[in-house]
Amino acid sequence: MATAEIPYQETVPLHHPKTWIGKYVFSQDHKVIAVQYGITAMAVGLVALFLSDLMRIQIAFPEFMDWFVEDYYYQSITMHGMIMVIYLLTAFLLGAFGNFTVPLMCGARDMVFPFVNMLSYWVYLLSVIILLLAYIPGLGGPTGAGWTLYPPQTITEGTPGADWGITTMLASLAVFIVAFTMGGLNYITTILQARTRGMSLMRLPLTVWGIFVATFLGLLAFPALFVSAIMMILDLKIGTSFFMPAIVSLGQTLAYDGGQPLLFQHLFWFFGHPEVYIVALPAFGVVSDLISVHARKNIFGYRLMVWALVFIGILSFIVWAHHMFVAGMHPYFGFFFATTTLIIAVPTAIKVYNWILTLWKANIKLTVPMLYALSFVLTFIMGGITGLFLGNVIIDIPLSDTYFVVAHFHMVMGVSPILAIFGGIYHWYPKLTGRMLNDTLGKWHFWITFLGTYIIYFPMHYLGFIGVPRRYYENFDSSFYPASAQLLNEVITYTALVVGVAQLLYVINLVHSYFYGKPAGDNPWGANSLEWCTPETPPGHGNWGDRLPTVHRWAYDYNVPGSEKDFIPQTVPQGQTS
């Protein structure tokens, strides 16, 4: 790209807010929107975390909480799953990280459509409010259908929340998708149209690449969830039979006829599998950048990392039915989906190799964000290899619907992206606030969270081998469980409680450091990408002052032979070293 070209955003004036409300509440500044997304997602995530601890207590000590009846348990698994996947992980990785990093890393003043971007947050907040409406007393509570919402049970009387609970859930999902679409169109357009001079696609940091591909996946996958939510509302409210065959529910022969429950499962997983990568790819990107910056070494195999992201993104649309190997679909699908699923392991493994090879012959600073990134890699390897069990159709037969699955997906798309999020927050907090987070608190939180979650989920795979089924309100009265499995269960619960409480350390750190943290300066980590080159820290509205930065190199020039410092920012012209 010729450097003489004037970036689009340098030619349009910014509308600066005139009031406090315009600046901090109904703000069109991508950084403020990122914080709004982040705080809302974390708040609702704490609710889901609390639910998970209630469930763990119930599983290990069924006598302990008499008031925690079946309905509460099934409602909790549903809300925990849905909140974590959609309202925390998706919202945080794209809404918070996407909003914060995309314009800064591309060298843009803001998102291309700031007003739509603002709407995106407020519509997201609305979806969270609708989701939590189900807890209003008298409505029957939220749905207990499991986060997969499989009909017919979702809308029949044998499931808690089969009326208002499921209605608010489906409405909330539909509204969330509207919010996501507004945000997603912004990220893609900004990445394609608003990169500054010299910022070619192959000079973009991998964080932006991860968010870019994930947003594409989201825009293509969420409509499948949207239509299935609408179709289910129609089945529930006006008696259509999209997903409902003739059934006898609790003794009553219902009027439904001729629908197909598997249709919903296909639609759901056509969304649901890409959703895994909507969460994973931004995490991949963030971790790639964290490892490179803190290891003081270029990311190994940048081009292959980009193509692996793209390849994983494409493949993620033809593996969905590996979630349905025991669903009763045509058995020959098993051959196809097992093969595609194991093929996706290859680009994923390449990413892991490249992270680890980045450490080789590096000069590794074990900062707190680096700790999170390293633990992400180890946790992700564990979660990834157990995916090779479940993706291989015949092995899925004995293991599906057991605790092996619970352990697998928590490792791979629960704990891993959360560790990437924690790492990312530590990394960018100084740029966002101008202050460093507290290292001591950070290290305590890190070790408790990383080791704790490993102790929770690694042994849990073995409960799956025994054959302990998931989603059971009471588990341990079966004859084939060894008595020691109950002991393991109790250990898991104790650990889960400790990890749950330890998350407060993080909240305390975020709040405390905002007021009392060490001043950070412009570039505390010695990083190269554009967000560290802003004229002010925290960056003002418009990010760059009068003139957008000019990019001369990729984001990974660390320890380039012959340079005096161990990093060369992207704005430094070729031939110069600082």
Partner 1 sequence: MRKILDHHVAILLGLVVIGSVIFNVWSPWQFTEIASNWEFIDFTVKVTWWITGVAFVLLGLFMAWAIWRYKYHESGESHYEPEHPVLESWLTIITSIGVVIMLAPGLIAWDDYVQVPSDAMEVEVYGEQWTWKFRFPGEDGILGATTVKKNVDRTFDGTTYEPNITSLNPFGMRDDDPHGDDDILIASNVLHLPLDRNIKVVLRSKDVLHDFWVPEIRAKMDMVPGMITYFWFRPTRTGEFEILCAELCGRGHHIMRGTMYIDTQEDFETWLDAQVTWAEMKAGQKPEEPIVAKGRQIADQNGCFACHSLDGTSVVGPTWKGLWGREITLSDGATVIADEEYIVESIVEPNVKLVEGFGSVMTPYAFEDDEMEALVRFLQETAE
Site string for partner 1, 537-566 (x = CB under 8 A): -------------------x-xxxx----x
Residue 395 makes CB contacts below 8 A (sequence gap 6+) with: 389
The secondary structure element, H or E, covering residue 80 is helix 70-82
Positive or negative: CA dihedral 458, 460, 461, 466: positive
- Give the CA angle between residues 416, 418, 423 to the nearest 5°: 95
d(C-alpha 421, C-alpha 343), whole Å: 27
Q: Which is nearer to partner 1, 210 or 391 (CB)?
A: 391
Ranges within 417-446 binding partner 1 (CB under 8 A): none
Q: Which stretch binds partner 1 (CB under 8 A): 22-30, 125-133, 150-158, 420-428?
A: 150-158
Instruction: State yes or no: residue 395 binds partner 1 (CB under 8 A).
Output: yes
Q: Give whichever of 301 and 542 is closer to partner 1, judged by the CB atom.
A: 301
Examine residue 413 and tell whether it contacts partner 1 (CB under 8 A): no
User: Using CB under 8 A, which of the segments 40-48, 241-249, 272-280, 536-544 binds partner 1?
Assistant: 241-249
- Binding characters for partner 1, 68-107, by CB under 8 A (x = yes): --xx--x---------------------------------
Cβ of residue 99: shortest distance to partner 1, in angstroms? Answer: 30
Backbone angles phi, psi at 138, to 5 degrees: 100, -15
Inter-residue long-range contacts of 5-12, CB under 8 Å, 24+ positions, other chains counted: 5/197, 7/107, 7/108, 7/194, 7/195, 7/196, 7/197, 7/548, 8/193, 8/194, 9/108, 9/109, 9/110, 9/112, 9/194, 9/548, 10/547, 10/548
Burial degree of 212 (CB within 10 A; 0-12, 13-18, 19+): buried
Query: At closest approach, how far in Å is the CB of 65 from partner 1?
Result: 16
For partner 1, the binding residues in 282-301 under the rule CB under 8 A are 295-298, 300-301
- The DSSP annotation for 231-291 comes to HHHHHHHH---SS--S-EETTEEPS--S--HHHHHHHHHHHHHHHHHHHHHHHHHHHHHHH
Q: Which of 338, 407, 520, 551 binds partner 1 (CB under 8 A)?
A: 338
Burial code (b: 16+ CB inside 10 Å, e: under 16) for 388-407 equals ebbbbbeebeebbebbbbbb
φ, ψ dihedrals at 472, nearest 5°: -105, 125
Shortest CB 478 distance to partner 1, Å: 5
Among 350, 448, 491, 498, binds partner 1 (CB under 8 A): 350
If one asks whether residue 201 binds partner 1 (CB under 8 A), the answer comes out as no
Q: Pick out residues in 470-499 that bind partner 1 (CB under 8 A).
A: 471-475, 478-480, 482, 484-485, 488
Q: Looking only at residues 242 through 261 of this chain, which bind partner 1 when binding is defined by CB under 8 A?
A: 245-253, 255, 257-261
Which part of the chain contacts partner 1 (CB under 8 A), choosing from 99-107, 218-226, 271-279, 359-367? Answer: 359-367
Site for partner 1 (CB under 8 A): which residue of 83, 123, 393, 572? 393
Residue closer to partner 1, measured from CB, 9 or 400: 400
Tell me which residues in 20-79 interact with partner 1 (CB under 8 A): 70-71, 74
On whether the CB atoms of residues 82 and 147 are closer than 8 A, the answer is: yes
Q: Which of 133, 220, 349, 497 binds partner 1 (CB under 8 A)?
A: 349
Which of 82, 203, 71 has the alpha carbon at shortest distance from 132?
82
